[in-house]
Amino acid sequence: MASHRRPKQPSRTRVTVLTTAAAAAVALSANAANAAPSEKPSKDEVKAKVDALYEQAEQATEKLNGAKEKQEKLQKEISTIQDNVARGQDDLNELRDSIGMAAAAQYRTGSIDSSLQLFLSSNPDDYLDKASTADQLSSQQVEALKKIQEKQRELAQDRAEASEKLKDLASTRTELAKQKKSVQGKLAEAQKLLNSLTAAEKAALAAADARASRSASERVDLGDAPASSARAQAAFNAAQTQLGKPYVYGATGTASYDCSGLTSWAYAQAGITIPRTSQAQANAGTRIYSMSDLKVGDLVIFYGDLHHVGLYAGNGQVIHAPRTGTVVRYESINNMPFQFGVRI
């Protein structure tokens, strides 16, 4: 007969473990259900992030402006070098022609010198080593040829060096463009957060921004501070005509500007050429470290890395192109970390 056994009952220990695990699972589920959702950033946190990203974008823009300016300068240098090389080659060809005529005359008489044969060969450097033995060539001709070929070698070296610098600069610009693209991605992310704010929160941020800076259309009390010079006054007057123009990365007018684009354009209208970037403009004149010593038309440099610039307008105000989403306008000099002024 088959045996009939009672099913084995689970041990008390095992029951306890299973019961405890089930209870823990229930507790975790309850906690998860009751957990507060991740807190949405406040409008102040969103504004802080957006402002930081705008600043990063402007830093990248000023670096790109500097790279572009360097590239343009190198292109001009390379063009000059190539012109010099072409002139040197013409001089060399002219000397070769004159020596070739002498060789032809000797050939007709059957008395061509071996050194001239060497010169007319494909190895002029070897010829130069032995040119002093050429009875048919004057020492003046030999020296002239040496100088021209030496100059040609120097120019070729300069051209190669400039070309390498241009390649390096192009690579740098590519890297900077990638950095700028990355920053713009962060700006888009911050803008997404801004768009997530309520209408009331957006209105509060707009009101705060209006209090922090003056509208381009609002009358601003600039006092009666004098300009540092007639040309500084002319530059400031030119900048005033651009109030309300939008800020655009890399723009130099007249439809739009970035910060250093506005200042360089304004001084150009006064007949003065200053560097393109804010960092270079920081070294374009005499530095003024006290705000109280600033005069109308002085450049005003902001931030520790000197990536922002405006023009002093008087009465503690600057006129500048602030950042993306804004226009050329007046703003309190105290709204940004002042470094120093520059008197052109």
DSSP string covering 19-58? HHHHHHHHHHHHHHHHSPPPPPPPHHHHHHHHHHHHHHHH
Q: Is the pLDDT of residue 1 over 50?
A: no
Query: Range with the lowest mean pLDDT among 116-130, 134-148, 173-187?
Result: 116-130
- Band of the pLDDT at 19, cuts 50, 70, 90? very low
Contact in structure between 321 and 259 (CB atoms under 8 Å): yes
What are the sequence ranges of the domains in the chain?
42-194, 223-341
199-212 vs 43-109: helix crossing angle, rounded to 10: 60
For 172, the token pair is 């740098």
Instruction: Choose between 248 and 166: higher pLDDT.
Output: 248
Active-site annotation holds for 202: no
From 70, 308, 323, 343, active-site residue: 308
Positive or negative, the CA dihedral 278, 280, 286, 290 is positive
Instruction: Choose between 265 and 97: higher pLDDT.
Output: 265
Instruction: Choose between 139 and 199: higher pLDDT.
Output: 199
3-state secondary structure of 332: strand
pTM of the model: 0.68
From 134, 259, 262, 296, active-site residue: 259
Active-site annotation holds for 307: no
Contact in structure between 295 and 232 (CB atoms under 8 Å): yes
From 307, 320, 329, 343, active-site residue: 320
CATH superfamily membership of 223-341? endopeptidase domain like (from Nostoc punctiforme) (3.90.1720.10)
Confirm or reject CATH 2.20.25.650 for domain 42-194, answering yes or no.
no
Contact in structure between 204 and 43 (CB atoms under 8 Å): yes
Phi, psi of 312 (to 5 degrees): -70, 135
Bridge partners, 340 (sequence order): 301
Query: Range with the lowest mean pLDDT among 28-42, 64-78, 86-100, 224-238?
Result: 28-42
Among 126, 99, 125, smallest CA distance to 113 is for 99
Give the pLDDT of residue 302: 98
Q: Which residue has the tokens 């998860």?
A: 32
Active-site annotation holds for 308: yes
Query: What is the Cα–Cα distance from 16 to 3, expressed in whole angstroms?
Result: 31
